Amino acid sequence: MKTTETAGSNRLIHEKSPYLRQHADNPVDWFAWGEAAFDKAANEDKPMLVSIGYATCHWCHVMAEESFSDPETARVMNENLVNVKIDREERPDLDQIYITAVSALTGSAGWPLNVFLTPDGKPFYGGTYFPPRQSGGMPSWTEVVRAIGRAWQDPAERKKLLDSAGNVAAVLKQHLHDAQAGTASPGLDEASLEKALDVFSGSYDPVRGGIGKAPKFPMPPVLRFLLFYSRYSGFRSGQTEKGRKALDMALHTLREMAGGGIFDHIGGGFHRYSTDDNWHVPHFEKMLYDNAQLIEVYLEAFEITGEERFARTARQCLEYVRRDMTHPLGGFYSAEDADSRVLDLAGPEDAGQGVSKAEGAYYVWRKAELERVLDAPAAEMMAYHYGVKAQGNAKTDPFGEFAGKNILFDARSIEDTARYFGQTVEETASALQSARERLLAARNQRPRPQLDDKILTEWNALMISALARANRVLEDPSYMAEAEKGIEFLRQYLFSEDGHLYRRWREGQRAIPAMAGDYAFLVQALLDTYDASLNPGYLKQAVDLGGRMLDRFYDPDHGGFFMTAADQDRFLLFRSRDFTDGVVPAAGSVAALNCLRLHRLTGQDRFYDAARGTFDAAAARIRKNPAMAPQLLIALGSDLLGSAEVVIIGRRGEQDTRSLLHRVRKYPRESAQAVVVENASDRRQLLGFMPHVEGMKGFDQGAAAYVCFNRACRDAVGDSDALDKLMQEAMNTQ
């Protein structure tokens, strides 16, 4: 056990972020971001190093071990710099500013991100990983630090650095803070969706699925866009060639990913990305945000196609999160490391076992291990089905990590395996299932990868949305219970007594005022949880929090959302915006759809105006780069399509209400919203923001549905076919 008294630990020992704590034993005199660091830089007239990474980042660990743990390197750093460590997952706002800076200064950027700042926080030089010794034209880390230190002490050189810092800050501000001047240019329209689709089609891999070449990331916002587009074009103009193509691209990618080594066939869940084009050799870290979003994408694919395989993959991811990533009180952990200590289950029992770390060590198998753990027929079947070979099965192995090791993937279809072993498909599936369970148990003898157990509001909200959808699509109430427990966790631990939302909780401490992403994803989660549970309390919370999000983050002058509130942090260079839907979509893109949904529920124009303002603020950038914001384009498509808002007056458990509800739920959440009013308590809770439910009544003979579309309403219907007809009319009318 470490204590604060441990000799040699620095002040990061007092931080809760696992990433910052990983550096608490460094001889580098690290500071966390904040006043103390800025004071020291000003008092001692030193430049600052801001070093940004995250707990499961492999090259961050490498640099920490090679350079930040080395006493001589630390001495040089401490002498020349004020050194600040940032966990990018805690502070995406700072990460965005400084990674954009390094990208502007050097043409590329990534993590670990090392950026040098003037004492007032302006970046003037930076890079990513630096080696401990000069190699291949790359200067060593200490050379870089010394050079910065020398330049800062030399008045002429310092002036150059300050000039550079001034220029970089101006460029950054223009790029990240300013909205487009005016919106004289035409806004986004239907063609914007098609242009994005064309870009995705152009870089699509028709053989193995996915967009672009290795490394291949499962890009949930892109997959969702493709699925949305296929439904959208179906509503707009009947099934079109482009709509079919979008659906094929998404489904083929999902099948390839689920069959590849990027999927953990033994324990469920997806790894972060594939280093090869075939989805076979992954980078093994597992992120909550990937799994939460992919659960939703697979469930949507299941909804559209009815293919059981998609539901199975979703269930396996849900099981993974339930088993390995859930706090006993209901929150969800952030991530699991890629590397872990190697323990060969068929190897010698000597002291060398379980000492050194390797990428994927917890997940990969030697053939001999399969044969040790399983009986011979099961081992043979597993090897045949999952492509296990004595010499190992990794075709690409850039760092020589997988010699003799196997990354399981669907080498054969279940039908092929059944045929080969002369069994039925059912027998084969059940034999593989029990072999997988035995391997899972055996694998647990190995040391687990490090768990990043901090709890982030933003990512937890994504998981809550996934659970709510799982409850709805898979009709399994246990998922609803987990979603509600997740919301309760956030309510209890991430909101302060006076109602302020925070971003991170760990070891009993909540910290960091919530950013736009935390608000946006939580509003979305509350809306999704309402859709699944029909508990009006969640709707009320969504409306309240959505309103607060507008107050704190919306830019009424230019439209769009800032990542941070005006009072977030006085050391921020400026309030930046995020326009890009990466692996996790931008807060503004999620907020735009939230605002449309909130407007449809409440009729409050400020929500609608905010959605339109967000489209307009992004328009010029998206015209230049049509594929940058697929999530925002889903919101745009939803607005172009319009949405049916249906209020059902009836009893939730009764058949008439359920069959009306069923008709609404056939439509995606982007284009239909159902609210159920069963009793006086529901009505009372809803009246505050949906005053029109007041006069709505059920029929004498049962439930009634009130449908509105495109700001016009129909008289109530009771029959589900009549409702269906109204819904169809609505979706095909502009």
Partner 1 sequence: MADEKDVKVYALSTCGHCKNAKKLLDKCEISYDSVEVDLLSGDQRQAILEEVKELNPRCSFPTIRIGEKVIVGYKEDEIKEALGIS
Taking CB atoms within 8 Å and a gap of at least 24, the contacts of 491-494 are 492/329, 493/329, 493/331, 493/455, 494/455, 494/457, 494/460
For partner 1, give the closer residue by CB, 77 or 708: 708
HSE, side-chain direction, 13 A CA sphere, residue 466: 28
For partner 1, give the closer residue by CB, 456 or 703: 703
Residue 712 binding partner 1, by CB under 8 A: yes
For partner 1, give the closer residue by CB, 498 or 694: 694
**Residue of 74, 251, 539, 690 interacting with partner 1 (CB under 8 A):** 690
Q: How many residues bind partner 1 (CB under 8 A)?
A: 20
For tokens 């503004």, name the residue. Answer: 588
In 3D space, the residue among 585, 563, 385, 575 whose CA is nearest the CA of residue 465 turns out to be: 585
**Residue of 377, 654, 729, 732 interacting with partner 1 (CB under 8 A):** 729
For partner 1, give the closer residue by CB, 470 or 716: 716
**Residue of 62, 147, 214, 693 interacting with partner 1 (CB under 8 A):** 693
119's tokens: 């004492």
Omega prior to 215 cis, within 30 of 0? yes
Minimum gap (Å) between residue 606 Cβ and partner 1: 13
**Residue of 150, 424, 713, 732 interacting with partner 1 (CB under 8 A):** 713
In 3D space, the residue among 354, 352, 351 whose CA is nearest the CA of residue 343 turns out to be: 354
For partner 1, give the closer residue by CB, 566 or 712: 712
Residue 709 binding partner 1, by CB under 8 A: yes
For partner 1, give the closer residue by CB, 132 or 603: 603
Residue 692 binding partner 1, by CB under 8 A: yes
For tokens 């080498």, name the residue. Answer: 411
Helices 630-641 & 190-202 angle (0-180, nearest 10): 140
Beta pairing, strands 48-53 & 82-87? parallel
Q: At 531, is the secondary structure helix, strand, or coil?
A: helix
Query: How far is CA 409 from each of CA 277, 342, 385, 724, rounded to the nearest angstrom?
Result: 14, 21, 8, 43
Omega prior to 112 cis, within 30 of 0? yes
Minimum gap (Å) between residue 284 Cβ and partner 1: 51
Residue 206 binding partner 1, by CB under 8 A: no
Residue 695 binding partner 1, by CB under 8 A: yes
Who's near 497: CB < 8 A, 6+ residues apart?
A: none
Q: At 92, is the secondary structure helix, strand, or coil?
A: helix
Residue 495 DSSP class: B
**Burial track 338-347 (b if 16+ CB lie within 10 A, e otherwise):** bbbbbbbbee
Which of 92-100, 197-205, 291-299, 703-711 is the region at the interface with partner 1 (rule: CB under 8 A)?
A: 703-711
Residue 558: exposure state from Cβ atoms within 10 A (0-12, 13-18, ≥19)? middle
For partner 1, give the closer residue by CB, 157 or 609: 609
Minimum gap (Å) between residue 712 Cβ and partner 1: 3
What does the alpha-carbon distance between residue 468 and residue 462 come to, in Å, rounded to a whole number?
10
What does the alpha-carbon distance between residue 100 and residue 107 come to, in Å, rounded to a whole number?
10
Residue 715 binding partner 1, by CB under 8 A: yes
Minimum gap (Å) between residue 700 Cβ and partner 1: 14
For partner 1, give the closer residue by CB, 313 or 657: 657
Residue 360: exposure state from Cβ atoms within 10 A (0-12, 13-18, ≥19)? buried
**Residue of 598, 627, 676, 716 interacting with partner 1 (CB under 8 A):** 716
What does the alpha-carbon distance between residue 116 and residue 146 come to, in Å, rounded to a whole number?
12
Residue 706 binding partner 1, by CB under 8 A: yes
**Residue of 434, 509, 710, 732 interacting with partner 1 (CB under 8 A):** 710
What does the alpha-carbon distance between residue 453 and residue 521 come to, in Å, rounded to a whole number?
19
What does the alpha-carbon distance between residue 639 and residue 598 come to, in Å, rounded to a whole number?
12
Residue 696 binding partner 1, by CB under 8 A: yes
Minimum gap (Å) between residue 716 Cβ and partner 1: 7
For partner 1, give the closer residue by CB, 666 or 697: 697
Which of 161-169, 284-292, 382-390, 690-698 is the region at the interface with partner 1 (rule: CB under 8 A)?
A: 690-698
Minimum gap (Å) between residue 601 Cβ and partner 1: 10
410's tokens: 């669907």
Which of 124-132, 247-255, 515-523, 712-720 is the region at the interface with partner 1 (rule: CB under 8 A)?
A: 712-720
Which of 111-119, 161-169, 173-181, 701-709 is the region at the interface with partner 1 (rule: CB under 8 A)?
A: 701-709
* Residue 511, H or E segment: strand 509-513
Which of 137-145, 255-263, 580-588, 684-692 is the region at the interface with partner 1 (rule: CB under 8 A)?
A: 684-692
Minimum gap (Å) between residue 532 Cβ and partner 1: 24
Q: How many angstroms from the chain centroid is the CA of residue 558?
A: 27
Minimum gap (Å) between residue 615 Cβ and partner 1: 17
Minimum gap (Å) between residue 500 Cβ and partner 1: 32
Of 122-161, binders to partner 1 (CB under 8 A) are: none
**Residue of 714, 722, 724, 728 interacting with partner 1 (CB under 8 A):** 714
For partner 1, give the closer residue by CB, 332 or 706: 706
**Residue of 691, 721, 725, 732 interacting with partner 1 (CB under 8 A):** 691
Who's near 156: CB < 8 A, 6+ residues apart?
A: none
**Residue of 708, 717, 723, 727 interacting with partner 1 (CB under 8 A):** 708
Contact between residue 13 and residue 2 where contact means Cβ atoms under 8 Å apart: yes
For partner 1, give the closer residue by CB, 284 or 709: 709
For partner 1, give the closer residue by CB, 139 or 547: 547
Minimum gap (Å) between residue 642 Cβ and partner 1: 10
In 3D space, the residue among 63, 373, 99, 25 whose CA is nearest the CA of residue 12 turns out to be: 25
Minimum gap (Å) between residue 668 Cβ and partner 1: 22
Binding letters toward partner 1, positions 592-611, x by CB under 8 A? -----------x--------
Binding letters toward partner 1, positions 528-557, x by CB under 8 A? ------------------------------
Helices 477-493 & 457-474 angle (0-180, nearest 10): 160
What does the alpha-carbon distance between residue 72 and residue 418 come to, in Å, rounded to a whole number?
61
Q: At 312, is the secondary structure helix, strand, or coil?
A: helix
For partner 1, give the closer residue by CB, 52 or 539: 539
For partner 1, give the closer residue by CB, 189 or 488: 189
Strands (E), 356-491: 357-359, 451-452, 455-456
Contact between residue 77 and residue 49 where contact means Cβ atoms under 8 Å apart: yes
What does the alpha-carbon distance between residue 117 and residue 138 come to, in Å, rounded to a whole number?
21
For partner 1, give the closer residue by CB, 329 or 713: 713
Contact between residue 87 and residue 53 where contact means Cβ atoms under 8 Å apart: yes
For partner 1, give the closer residue by CB, 451 or 696: 696
Minimum gap (Å) between residue 37 Cβ and partner 1: 51
Which of 186-194, 219-227, 443-451, 686-694 is the region at the interface with partner 1 (rule: CB under 8 A)?
A: 686-694
Q: Which residues bind partner 1 (CB under 8 A)?
A: 603, 690-696, 706, 708-716, 729, 733
